[in-house]
Amino acid sequence: MIEITILTVMLLAAAAVGVTLRRRHGKVRATAASPEASARAGLLATVGVTGAGPAVLHFSADWCGPCSAVRRVVAGVTEELAESELPPLDIEVDIDAEPALARELNVLSLPTTFVFDAEGRERFRISGVPKAGDLRTALAPLTAQNLA
């Protein structure tokens, strides 16, 4: 009998948690600008992600072998898109020189590449060496001005 009581209580608790989570799911809630967000924006601005246009930010280090391949891929793609309405910036950051920014962006391995839109929001994160086609596909919509 006690097993049935425990099972009933657990089912009711699970149902209550499910209803609570379901009620919050999909609701748009306003968020205030947190101090962490402004600190992140400040760290990004120091390396050149100012929100003036899209940017490709890639972390590297002298001791990182694959980072040279990332340099070539990012340079090639940003050069191809240099004539677009909003040409992307190619920003390379040495992880040893900017550890606070690496911590803020949760960079755990090298190479790590980020794509930011014209408003300075992170749109894509790529661990490892990105393929040129994938990077081009990610950047193409960000380099054309949205007239809608």
* 16 pLDDT more than 80: yes
If pLDDT is split at 50, 70 and 90, which confidence band does 73 have? very high
CB 129 within 8 A of CB 73: yes
pLDDT at site 35: 58
Encode pLDDT of 130-145 as tens digits: 999 999 999 999 998 6
Encode pLDDT of 26-43 as tens digits: 554 444 455 567 788 889
pLDDT at site 109: 92
Residue 63 token pair: 């001791």
